[in-house]
Amino acid sequence: MKCSASTLLTAGILGATAFASSPSADAPYAFTAGYPTPQAAAQARTDADFARAVTAYRFWYPTVSVEGIFNGNRAAGIADNRGMGIAAAGPRQVGFTLNSDTPYGSAALDLSQGPMVIELPPGPYIGLVDDHHQGWVLDLGIPGPDGGKGGKHVVLPPGFSGEVPAGYFSGRSLSNKVLLAVRALPVGADVPKAMDALRAIKVYPLAEAGQPKPLRVVDTTEIAMDSTSLRWEDNIQFWQVLHRIVEAEPVVEKFLPMYGLLAALGIEKGKPFAPDARMTGILEQAARTGRDQLLVSAFASNRPDRFAWPDRTWEWAGLVPGSAQFETASGIDLEARDRWFAQAIVTSPAMFRRSAGAGSLYWLAARDQAGAYLDGAKSYKLTIPQPVPDKLFWSVTIYDAQTRSEVQTDQGKAALRSLFELKDVSKSEPTELYFGPAAPAGQEGRWIKTVPGRGWFTYLRIYGPEQAAFDGHWKPGDLTEIE
């Protein structure tokens, strides 16, 4: 029998909560004549609140994370429903595993006043709309229903009961605030043309479709932006931000068990959030613990299915192929969900496909050939066999382990890309890339600078992957430490 997504989600969450709430063997609660002592009761209540808070933190992390993206735009002067930011991104744009392969466009759209239209011209776009919980709503461009031929897409708000106008592709959101994220592929390495392609996108309310006034487009390429939740993720601000979101958004029925956990912690729609000193301490500790558990899922998982190849340390960034909600036959894969949102943003079925012709493919390496974490004080070599099985292009981008964003150094770059730095490499001989505090002699063009004292990890991306990327006929070397 096939379970609904709501049933699977509830079962997975309750199972995780029950496990987290089990008392540890070395700290049993004292009972007398079948009743807990006052000290045991107090400790059990504290332990239960802490367990609820850690589980709630891990579940609601994507919701708070996407608020960081919204606030990044707002801080740059791009208000919700007023503008869309575009950027040829680089290290100055702090965002979880953003890259500089393609220019980005993003906007926070507010559906509380009605549906919004996203009008794409024909072209090489890859885009999506996710709700406030980073749940998938709609694909755009090449992976979407328009297939890159262009079209009008309408995003419907919760509870929308009107008719979808003819000629529109549609998606329904579970929240009022949604994230529009779209990339324009730089065909022929023409970044200015790709930026112009982003400027050609029109976003406007459906109610104004007769005489649309599209959102203004703001180029943020040269602006230092922080689109993360880093400043909130390990302290009481996480819960304060989450409370504001719960207040502003409609209740999502399939999340009811998780709203119940929040209510037990003092976060409830329609009520003020005013934790006392005891609960504040529990919530702050839970934020730190929950964040650290997410990072363990991201970078120290012990799941055997994480490996892309049995003889390599490379791992799949996403562990549930083809599912935007991490659904499996037996439930929601909570570990895969934690792992993804600890290191990345947004979801779409297209992002996790493992088949030839998929839009893009991501592999993660946080360890060298010997299994040691990558160290910013050491130097490494990475060998990429040629030809790479890509129909479009490929890249290697490195990220700071603490910010999960592109490394920031005086070199000012964090990627080596086949369209740009590596456009002249041999298509038959292996390509050797270098990473470390200093460039090997003569290899400055194939080197990315790292920072001593800071760990890092890398994503290898293939755009338009071919079959050899999946069946083992092609695979990269491991990162190897060099003197």
Work out the number of other CB atoms within 10 angstroms of the CB of residue 113.
Answer: 11
Total domains in the chain come to: 3
Q: Residue 24 — very low, low, confident or very high, per pLDDT cuts 50/70/90?
A: very low
In angstroms, the Cα distances linking 106 to 11, 67, 333, 359 are 34, 13, 28, 19
- What is the reported pLDDT for 359? 74
- What is the reported pLDDT for 26? 56
Residues 308 and 265 in one domain: no
Q: Which two tokens stand for residue 376?
A: 């910013």
| 15 φ, ψ (degrees, to nearest 5) | -65, -40
Residues 271 and 327 in one domain: no
Last residue of a domain, one of 298, 328, 356: 298
Beta bridge partners of 331: 328
Domain housing 283: 5-71+232-298
Residues 251 and 156 in one domain: no
Last residue of a domain, one of 246, 277, 298: 298
Helix (H), strand (E), coil (C) string for the chain: CCCCHHHHHHHHHHHHHHHHHCCCCCCCCCEECCEECHHHHHHHHHHHHHHHHHHHHHHHHHHHHHHHHHHHHHHCCCCCCCEEEEECCCCCEECCCCCCCCCEEEEEEEHHHCCEEEEECCCCEEEEEEECCCCEEEEEECCCCCCCCCEEEEEECCCCCCCCCCCEEEEECCCCEEEEEEEECCHHHCHHHHHHHHHCCEEEEHHHCCCCCCCEEEECCCCCEECCCCCCCCCCHHHHHHHHHHHHCCCCHHHHHHHHHHHHCCCCCCCCCCCCHHHHHHHHHHHHHHHHHHHHHHHCCCCHHHECCCCCCCEECCCCCCCCCCEECCEECHHHHHHHHHHCCCCCHHHHCCCCCCCEEEEEECECCCCCECECCCEEEEEECCCCCEEEEEEEEEEECCCCCECCCCCCCCEEECCCCCCCCCCCCCEEEEEECCCCCCCHHHEEECCCCCEEEEEEEEEEECHHHCCCCCCCCCCEEEC
Beta bridge partners of 31: 36
| Residue 19 in this model has a pLDDT that exceeds 50 | no
- What is the reported pLDDT for 10? 43
- What is the reported pLDDT for 3? 45
**Stretch 288-307: mean pLDDT:** 97
Domain CATH code at residue 380: 2.60.120.600
Residue 86 contacts residue 130 (beta carbons within 8 Å): no
Last residue of a domain, one of 226, 241, 257: 226
Sign of CA dihedral 463, 217, 324, 334: positive
Residues 313 and 337 in one domain: yes
Measured between alpha carbons, how far is 65 from 416 in angstroms, rounded to an integer? 27
**Stretch 449-462: mean pLDDT:** 97
How would you classify the pairing of strands 216-219 and 151-156?
unpaired
Residues 173 and 221 in one domain: yes
pLDDT by residue (tens digit) across 168-220?
999 999 999 999 999 999 989 999 999 999 999 999 999 999 999 999 999 99
- What is the reported pLDDT for 15? 42
Residues 272 and 322 in one domain: no
Residues 157 and 94 in one domain: yes
Arithmetic mean of pLDDT over the chain: 92
Residue 130 contacts residue 178 (beta carbons within 8 Å): yes
Residues 270 and 307 in one domain: no
Domain CATH code at residue 195: 2.60.40.1610
Residues 188 and 239 in one domain: no
pLDDT by residue (tens digit) across 220-235?
999 999 999 999 999 9
Residues 339 and 452 in one domain: yes
Domain CATH code at residue 16: 1.10.3360.10
Residues 239 and 146 in one domain: no
Residues 271 and 176 in one domain: no
- What is the reported pLDDT for 377? 98
Q: Which two tokens stand for residue 332?
A: 């929601």
Of 340, 251, 256, 289, which is closest to residue 14 (Cα–Cα)? 256
Cis peptide before 250 (omega within 30 of 0): no
- The pTM (predicted TM-score) of the whole model is 0.92
Of 270, 267, 296, which is closest to residue 282 (Cα–Cα)? 267
pLDDT by residue (tens digit) across 303-357?
999 999 999 999 999 999 988 899 999 999 999 999 999 999 999 988 888 888 7
Q: Residue 14 — very low, low, confident or very high, per pLDDT cuts 50/70/90?
A: very low
